[in-house]
Copies of this chain bind each other. A is one copy, B any other.
Amino acid sequence: MEKKITIADIARMANVAKSTVSRYLNGGSVSEKTRRKIDTIVSDYNYQPNALAQNLKLKINHTVGVIVPRLDSTAQVEMLRGLDAANDEDTFLIVNTYQSVARELAAIEKLRNQHVSGLIILTANITDDIRDALKAFDVPVVIQGQDEGDFHRVLMNDRQAGDIVGQYAMSLTPKKVLLLTIPEQQDWSIGHERFTGVYHALADYDVTTIHTKFNIDEARNDALRVMSENTFDLVIGATDRMTIGALQAGIATHQSAKYIGFGKSDLSTTVTPHLTSFEYDFYETGKLMYNLLKNVRENNPSEKQRLVFDGQLVERESTQNFY
Interface residues of A (CB under 8 A from B): 1-4, 46, 48-53, 55-56, 61, 71-72, 74, 77, 80-81, 84, 91-96, 98, 109-110, 112-115, 135-136, 138, 216-217, 244, 248, 251, 266-267, 269-272
Contact = CB atoms under 8 A, between A and B. Distances in A.
A212 to B, nearest CB: 16
B113 A72 contact: no
Given A98-B81, A248-B272, A115 B51 contact: yes
B72 A84 contact: no
| Residue among A3, A71, A84, A98 with most chain B CB within 10 A | A71
A177 to B, nearest CB: 23
B91 A81 contact: no
Closest 10 CB pairs of A and B: A94-B94, A51-B113, A71-B77, A52-B56, A52-B52, A51-B114, A48-B112, A48-B113, A52-B55, A53-B56
Contact of A98 (B52, B84, B114, B269): B84
Given A2-B136, A80-B96, A91-B110, 11 more contacts: A1-B136, A1-B138, A49-B113, A51-B113, A52-B52, A92-B95, A93-B93, A94-B94, A244-B270, A248-B272, A271-B271
A247 B158 CA distance: 34
A34 to B, nearest CB: 24
10 contacts: A2-B138, A50-B115, A51-B113, A52-B52, A53-B56, A91-B95, A91-B110, A92-B94, A92-B95, A271-B272
B71 A266 contact: no
Nearest to A70: B77
Nearest to A113: B51
Nearest to A109: B48
Nearest to A244: B270
Contacts of A244: 270
| Residue among A110, A113, A251, A267 with most chain B CB within 10 A | A113
A1 B272 contact: no
A269 B113 contact: no
Contacts of A52: 52, 55-56, 61, 114-115
A266 B217 CA distance: 10
B269 A272 contact: no
B56 A81 contact: no
Contacts of A56: 50, 52-53, 56
Contacts of A93: 91-94
A1 B94 CA distance: 23
